[in-house]
Amino acid sequence: MIGVMSRWEPNARGRLEQAALELYCERGFEQTTVAEIAERAGLTERTFFRYFADKREVLFAGGVTLQELLVSAVAGDPESAPPIEAVAAALAAAGALLQERHEYARQRQAVIAANASLQERELIKLAALAAALAGALRRRGVTDPAASLTAEAGIAVFKVAFERWVSGTGRADLPQLIREALDELKAVTAGN
């Protein structure tokens, strides 16, 4: 056990993420190898594979954290809150965390936009996020189709706000963009 512990690298995961993204931006996702990512991070390939299944997953591992955060925020919101408000509060909380990584998010988006298979992976992750949110709402007693529709509406709001945020110049506030997108969704569904 001590042997295993002694190989633990403080913040190895963050260094690998940063190194991978730099390389994907510099030479393209396809052209980058795990060996190069590990070298750039000053770590071994073996360490890389302790954190990530492959070079694609470096870009999507954060989505798991995001999903856990959203699900626990929806679960923890007062039962009396309307479902859409529980989802909006969860999204705003997630947005506040993402806010600190604006430059990372911008670069990541550029890498994904340049590669069709990464775009597909992003869609799959968003669909999984919608399913997880719908599940969290059902556990709060929200029935279908309201649970599915609220979750899908939440993901649509997040997607639109996130796109505006990453294409912005760095001043934009993600939690505020999320709130604005929700207000806009309320207006468009009301037929305004």
Q: Interface residues with a second copy (CB under 8 A)?
A: 82-85, 120, 123-124, 127, 145-146, 148-150, 152-153, 156-157, 159-160, 163-164, 180-182, 184-192
Q: Compute the distance between CA of residue 108 and CA of residue 29 in angstroms, rounded to an integer.
A: 11
Q: Where do the H-state alpha helices sit in 28-113?
A: 34-41, 45-51, 61-76, 83-99, 102-113
- From the CB of 67, what's the least distance to a second copy, in Å? 16
Which CB atom, from 34 or from 168, has the smaller least distance to a second copy? 168
- From the CB of 29, what's the least distance to a second copy, in Å? 18
Which CB atom, from 5 or from 190, has the smaller least distance to a second copy? 190
Which CB atom, from 10 or from 78, has the smaller least distance to a second copy? 78
Instruction: Say if CB 38 and CB 16 are below 8 A apart.
Output: yes
- From the CB of 83, what's the least distance to a second copy, in Å? 6
How many angstroms separate the first and last alpha carbons of the chain?
Answer: 62
Instruction: Say if CB 91 and CB 67 are below 8 A apart.
Output: no
Q: Compute the distance between CA of residue 160 and CA of residue 69 in angstroms, rounded to an integer.
A: 19
What's the angle, vertex CA 176, arms to CA 104 and CA 73, rounded to 5?
Answer: 80
Tell me the one-letter amino acid at 166.
V
- From the CB of 86, what's the least distance to a second copy, in Å? 10
- From the CB of 106, what's the least distance to a second copy, in Å? 19
